[in-house]
Amino acid sequence: MKAESFSPRRLLQSMTLGTAVSVAVALLATAASVAPADALAATAKTHQAAKKAASASSAKKKTVKTASAKSANVASDDAPKASRKRATLASNVRGHHGAVRKVAFQPRRPTVGQAFGLHDTPDALALRSSVAYVVDQNTGEPLFDKNSHAVVPIASISKLMTAMVVLDSKAPMTDQLEVTDEDRDYEKGTGSRLSVGSVLSREDMLHIALMASENRAAAALSRYYPGGRPAFIAAMNAKAKALGMNDTHFENSTGLSSSNVSSARDLVKMVNAAYQYPLIRQFSTDRTYDVYTGKRNLVYNSTNALIRGNGSWDIGLQKTGFINEAGECLVMQATIHGRPMVMVLLDSFGKYSRFADAARLRNWLDAGGGERLTAANTANGGT
C-alpha cells in the first residue's frame, strides 16, 4: 500500500523548538533516496509525533574536574554522546585567584525513532530498543518482532555493506592505503586514532573498521575503490538492491550520515549476506587487534561488550553503531541452544542498553519464548 505523505508541520508543531530542529535535519537527510524516504514517511505516519517535550530547563551542574573523553579502546561511534561547553571562571578562595573549569553537559538530541514515537511501542520484555527483530537464520521464521518495518538511520551498521563491497572488488588486501584529510569526519566532527598520514594495508583498514568501527579506515577504503567514493557508494546501493533491501539507502561508507537508513527486516538480509564472507565473520568478532600505522603501534578493541565479555555468547558476526539520530544499534548472528539466530536492535537508549536487550532476548528464548511469541508481540510489535 502506498504510504501517505508525511506532514513535517504537524510533527514540528507538537514538539519544542530544539526537538523540532533536530527532527527536521533528520528528515531532510533521509530524503536522499525516494524509496527509503517513502518508507521513513510511512514510519512517521504510523507513529504520530512524539509527546510534547518537557519545557522546564534542567538545572545546571558545576564540576571542578572533567573526565577525559579519550579512550584508546573505544571507537568514535561509541564516544560520549552529550555535547560539552567549556568555560573558565575566575575564583577567589582565601585571597588566592585561580581558574576553575566548568563543564556543562547538554542533553542528547532525540533520535529519529524517539521523534516518531517508536519508543512508545510496548513489548513483552520492556526493551530499551525501539526496534527489535529476531529471526531463525535457518528457516527465516521471525521469533520476536518490534517495529521491524520502521525505516531509521543505522549508523555504523553500514560498515557491513562497506566490507562486502570492498571484498567484492577483489582489490589486493596487501595494498597500502594512506589516511588523508579527505577521510576526516567533517559532518559530525568525530575524532579518530588514525592520524592523517597513517598508512595501513587494506586488510588492516577493513579489520579495524569492522571490529572497532574505525571511521577513517572505512572512509579510506571507499576512497581507494576503483572510481573513487561515488563509485563505492553506488556499489553499496546496487548491492542493497540486489539483496532485496528495498527500505535501504547509503550515502557514505562510515554510517556517520543520518541518510544511511534501513529497516530491521532489510538488515537481516544484510547480515545473512555478510555471513557468507569468512573475513567479515572473523574481523567483526575479534576481541583485539594491533596495527602499525607507519608512525606508531595502535591496539584496537571490539566495540561490542558481548565480544569483550566472559565468552558466554556464541557470536558468528556482529556490528555496533551509534550516531545521535540513530541511537545505539547492534546487529549480530548468534547461536542460542544450537539454533543460529539473527538479532537486530536499533535506536536503543543508553550506551549499554543494546547489549542488555540482547541478553533479555536470549534469556527469553532460553525460556522457550520463541514458541509463545506471536500473540504477545505481533499485536504490539511490527508497523
Is it the case that residue 76 has pLDDT exceeding 80? no
**Grid coordinates of 149:** 518495518
Tens of pLDDT, residues 176-186: 999 999 999 99
Query: Is 112 or 57 the better-scoring residue by pLDDT?
Result: 112
How confident is the prediction for the chain on average, in pLDDT? 81
The model carries a pTM of 0.76
CB count in 10 Å sphere of residue 39: 25
Is it the case that residue 225 has pLDDT exceeding 60? yes
Q: Which of 30-34, 118-122, 165-169 is the least confident region?
A: 30-34
Residue 83 binned pLDDT confidence (cut-offs 50, 70, 90): very low
Which own/partner contact pairs does 234-239 have at CB distance under 8 Å and 24+ positions apart? 235/165, 235/168, 235/169, 236/158, 236/161, 236/162, 236/165, 237/33, 239/161, 239/164, 239/165, 239/168, 239/273
156 is catalytic: yes
Check residue 33 and give its pLDDT: 44
Query: Which residues are CB-neighbours of 54 under 8 A, at least 6 positions away?
Result: none
Query: One of 22, 33, 129, 159 is an active-site residue; which one?
Result: 159
Tens of pLDDT, residues 8-38: 333 334 444 344 434 444 444 444 444 565 6
Contact 63, 102 (CB under 8 A): yes
Decide if domain 122-378 falls under CATH 3.40.710.10. yes
Largest CA distance in the chain: 75
**Mean pLDDT to the nearest integer, 168-179:** 99
pLDDT cut 70: percent of the chain above it:
68
Check residue 351 and give its pLDDT: 85
Query: Is 101 or 89 the better-scoring residue by pLDDT?
Result: 101
Check residue 44 and give its pLDDT: 55
To the question of whether residue 319 is assigned a binding role by annotation, the answer is yes
253 is catalytic: no
Query: One of 76, 130, 158, 213 is an active-site residue; which one?
Result: 213
Check residue 71 and give its pLDDT: 37
Is it the case that residue 95 has pLDDT exceeding 70? no
pLDDT cut 90: percent of the chain above it:
67
Is it the case that residue 223 has pLDDT exceeding 60? yes
Q: Which of 37-46, 319-328, 340-349 is the least confident region?
A: 37-46
Is it the case that residue 65 has pLDDT exceeding 70? no
58 is catalytic: no
Is it the case that residue 235 has pLDDT exceeding 70? yes
The closest alpha carbon to 116, from 24, 45, 55, belongs to 45
> For residues 319 and 304, what is the distance between their CA atoms, to the nearest angstrom?
8
Check residue 291 and give its pLDDT: 98
Query: One of 129, 148, 156, 198 is an active-site residue; which one?
Result: 156
Check residue 98 and give its pLDDT: 54
Residue 187 binned pLDDT confidence (cut-offs 50, 70, 90): very high
Amino acid at site 369: G
The closest alpha carbon to 105, from 79, 73, 87, 82, belongs to 82
